[in-house]
Amino acid sequence: MNLSFLKDYDFFTGVPDSQLKPLCSYLINEYGISDKHIIAANEGNAVGLAAGYYLATGKTPVVYLQNSGIGNIVNPVASLLNEKVYGIPCIFIIGWRGEPGVHDEPQHMFQGEITLKLLSDLGISSFVINKHTTEDELIRHMKEVFSPLLASGKSVAFVVKKGALDFDGKAEYKNTNTMLREKIIEHIVNAAGNDLIVSTTGKASRELFEIREAKHQGHEHDFLTVGSMGHSSSIALGIALKRPERKVWCIDGDGAVLMHMGAMAVIGANKPNNMVHVVINNNAHESVGGMPTVAGAIDLIKIAEGCGYPFCKIVSSYDELDAALEEAKKAEKLAFIEAKAAIGARADLGRPTTSPAENMRAFMQNIRC
């Protein structure tokens, strides 16, 4: 299905999703990053932006997200948009990962099973779009079912199955950085030695897994955070506080940091002297298509310093990276390193061949040794 049904709307915000890549490319081509299209830090942030747009204009906003982000919208949907509170209408476009009967990664399976029920429990009527949905069917449902609901202050959702959307245009994403994320992670692995590593969701964890495989090493030193985007640094903090005798490295991404930036304040306030927080910043949501984040427009080092990290470095070359990693390893204080990275990954990048539960058991056994 093409995206012509969106022509009547002029404000879009959300968090990119690989299943919604045609939509994301359409929005970049049509609006770029502007007052008509804002890429939010997280899905709840997008709902707040949408509410502000409605209050200012009286017009219905559109919010896009992966179904894993429904958890982040529960509070603002239930306590802000709901007709028992302010009655602010919103159209959600949701990528359906983990759809029952469709093979997907383990972190998506349970979320996929409960997606439609979650929306129903939130009072959001949904319409599933698949490869065979026609524009006439969608327009008719919008007119007969969704429009009256929106007029009464209720929200609605289009739930998009894999391959359901089409867009002929392409969007190219790049920056001027030269370091590659996979090489950065390899340098971190070399510096960490037998220390513990917690890696963020997406390609970073996939690359860490394959680096270990290439080196013929086990995976017991690594916790691969395959879901819960934005929480790897909090996981690392919890480990660091309870295992002060072990050095804990967190390999994070700019999109993940932005999603739950409050974690940095909690880390800085606790100041574990055995934790190194490395943010690989390529200014992009690369794992879901490459759409930009706002990390290129802010100063992560100043944010880390303001949160109380006593050791902060920014690096843009492998020599600078190695020096910062060595210094952070020797330092007996909380460290923050921002590594500037290019956008890009190997076309043949694989996925972990062990299950999340197997990874967890090996990691916990290693911690207890």
What's the token pair of residue 281? 């910043």
Centroid of chain to Cα 180 = 19
pLDDT confidence of residue 321: 98
209: nearest Cα among 354, 368, 360, 362: 354
The Cα 333–Cα 4 span in angstroms is 54
pLDDT confidence of residue 313: 98
Tell me the CATH architecture of domain 181-368.
3-Layer(aba) Sandwich (3.40)
pLDDT confidence of residue 169: 80
pLDDT confidence of residue 306: 98
DSSP 8-state symbol, 310: S
- What is the residue-wise DSSP string for 113-142? HHHHHHHHHTT-EEEEE-TT--HHHHHHHI
Domains 4-160 and 181-368 share a fold: yes
The DSSP bridge partners found for residue 77 are none
Per-10-residue mean pLDDT of the chain, 369 residues long, equals 82 95 93 96 98 98 97 97 97 96 90 96 97 92 96 97 88 91 98 97 95 95 94 98 97 97 98 98 90 94 98 98 98 97 93 94 91
Centroid of chain to Cα 203 = 11
- CATH of range 4-160; options 2.40.160.10, 3.40.50.970, 3.30.420.40, 3.10.440.10: 3.40.50.970
What angle is formed at CA 207 by the lines to CA 201 and CA 208, rounded to 5 degrees?
Answer: 85
pLDDT confidence of residue 191: 98
Which residue reads 């290129």 in tokens?
296
Q: Where are the domains of the chain?
A: 4-160, 181-368
What's the token pair of residue 214? 């290439």
pLDDT confidence of residue 290: 85
pLDDT confidence of residue 38: 97
